[in-house]
A and B are shown apart, each in its own frame.
Chain A
């Protein structure tokens, strides 16, 4: 007979593993169901009870989606917006953070508090005048409203993240370079930035996910269907594809998976950096 405390411990372990691994089913099931549906022929979509494993595997669905909607076009558009948004955020946020981290100037702390307070400002509060401003610039139905604001500081979160990191870089390095006659921009480019690769990668992941998934911006600013990003194109997918009223859920699921895959890949490959960034932002480490 096992002693009671060991029995208790074994039960605790079994429960722990059952819950921890059982939960993965809840998180994974919508994906599995979507993938399964995306590989079915239309007539199998409406079987009752629903079957998780398709009777006929229809991989052609993943070919068909590129023909029934300009998905490739949406893809290229989204990549374009994402690349230029993220690069702008990183460059400008790093510069601004460098200013906050390495220079003394009047009102520095007040300005930094002001910057942090914008974290809590819902973007909807300013959306209407911003829309009107971009309209006055003639930027409606272009990518400018989605990209250009990112080049002005890249948001409080990015600046905060870079500043926190810069503060951990020893000032001696700057001083040494200064004695060698380097100016501050040179120090930033040759010393600070190369040391900041982890934060840059963190911001690439976070910025990528935000731009890739953004829906509100494209919804407001883009009108021409050829200019749609993936999120907007996907939202209109059924309207485009099922003009005849035929079921298109298998194609919709395939397109949804195609849009989701890059996000998942980027996260899985770079999650270490992503998690670091999120943790720093909460101030708990």
Chain B
């Protein structure tokens, strides 16, 4: 009864059905829009501004132009963290992808107890990273740890100092990460993709006399190539963000080392960013690091998507 009166008074023009629908749609998505503006867009703009200032939280930000970026180029720890992060990513991701695919292919066979096996393989990836770090620190304990006792039992002499030595700290972290990653989400996604490959493809390949390797190369890989791309892109983004494991492994043990040790051998990019922001309170410099990180991640992801056109096949597409 009120609407017609309002309309006559010119208080509101009637909305068409589609306009009403649009208004309602916007209302429903408004929590995300607000969150996106407040927690993503706003902070990104703010961090671009902060990256051009000197800001230690106590005194207001002071304009510094490009000083932070210039400083970054001369910052030895910045380059060290890039080196560490690339080392970790380049070694970890290919092994994780290939290993997860191998496990998925294994579970795709007719084996009794497949579901139980899948669960067992998966458990390391639900283990909280902090707990996993301590489990493995204890295994990697140089003198009486399980790992070195196995190494010496095999007659290979004394094992390395693992997380106590810059030469073996990153390999140790890679081993821990692999333990947590091989049977995890990546494997589940591969497994689902493998199960989606039509059986007829393999059958006709059998008739043509194709061997196991040939079937893998010409049927399995092309069929799941979109999923390989998906897993690789997400795997690389995840590896570049390496933080918790390195932080706990290098600082959790009674602070023998500062986070990122020994000798900065586990100082990954995000750890350097964290130290700059929350240890030294250099918010301006840390914001510059954050923006450079964003550009690096964007560039690496873009590069992968660009090269993927050469090797990823989508269903229903020629070529």
Contacts and interface: CB of A to CB of B under 8 A. Distances in A.
Given A16-B111, A125-B47, A129-B47, A153 B36 contact: yes
Interface stretch (B76-84, B160-168, B201-209, B248-256): B248-256
B239 to A, nearest CB: 11
A16 B126 CA distance: 26
Contacts of B192: 275, 279, 282, 284-285
B119 A239 contact: no
B146 A33 contact: yes
Interface residues of B, number: 94
Contacts of B18: 104
B307 to A, nearest CB: 17
A246 B6 CA distance: 79
A5 interface: no
Contacts, number: 262
B219 interface: no
A47 B58 CA distance: 52
A169 to B, nearest CB: 15
B27 A99 contact: yes
Interface in A130-166: 130-133, 135, 149, 151-153, 159
B221 interface: no
Contact of A103 (B22, B32, B36, B179): B22
B196 A285 contact: yes
A132 B277 CA distance: 11
Given A126-B44, A128-B290, A278 B129 contact: no
Contacts of B174: none
Interface in A78-129: 92, 95-96, 98-100, 102-106, 108, 111, 114-115, 118, 120-122, 124-129
A267 B128 CA distance: 12
Contacts of A11: none
B28 A96 contact: yes
Nearest to B255: A239
A49 interface: yes
Interface in B1-45: 18, 21-29, 31-36, 38-40, 42-44
Contact of A27 (B120, B230, B286): B120
A162 B315 CA distance: 25
Contact of A153 (B35, B117, B153, B244): B35
B72 interface: no
A24 B121 contact: yes
Interface string B249-269: 000111100000000000000
Given A23-B103, A99-B27, A33 B117 contact: no
Interface string A201-223: 00000000100110110011000
A252 B183 CA distance: 25
B128 A130 contact: no
B24 A184 contact: yes
A128 B277 CA distance: 7
B230 A95 contact: no
A47 B193 CA distance: 47
Given A108-B25, A259-B131, A278-B185, A120 B121 contact: no
A147 to B, nearest CB: 13
Nearest to B133: A235
A1 interface: no
Contacts of A216: 243-244
A159 B119 contact: no
Interface string A2-41: 0000000000000011011101101111110110010000
Interface residues of A, number: 92
Interface string A241-257: 01000000100110011
A95 B106 contact: no
B218 to A, nearest CB: 20
Interface string B148-162: 010001000000000
Given A23-B121, A34-B135, A235 B144 contact: no
B264 to A, nearest CB: 19
Contacts of B106: 16, 19-20, 23
A271 interface: yes
A69 interface: no
A209 B126 CA distance: 7
A49 B149 contact: yes
Given A99-B28, A125-B293, A215-B244, A48 B149 contact: yes
Given A27-B183, A103-B24, A284-B193, 15 more contacts: A16-B106, A20-B107, A23-B121, A27-B121, A27-B124, A95-B28, A120-B237, A124-B270, A126-B39, A152-B34, A153-B35, A215-B248, A268-B119, A275-B192, A282-B227
**Nearest 3 Cβ contacts at the A-B interface:** A152-B35, A99-B28, A103-B25
Interface of B: 18, 21-29, 31-36, 38-40, 42-44, 46-47, 50, 57, 103, 106-107, 109, 111, 117, 119-124, 126-132, 134-136, 138-139, 141, 144-146, 149, 153, 179, 183, 185, 188-189, 192-193, 196, 224, 226-227, 230-231, 233, 237, 240-241, 243-244, 247-248, 252-255, 270, 273, 277-278, 283, 286-287, 290-291, 293-294, 297, 301
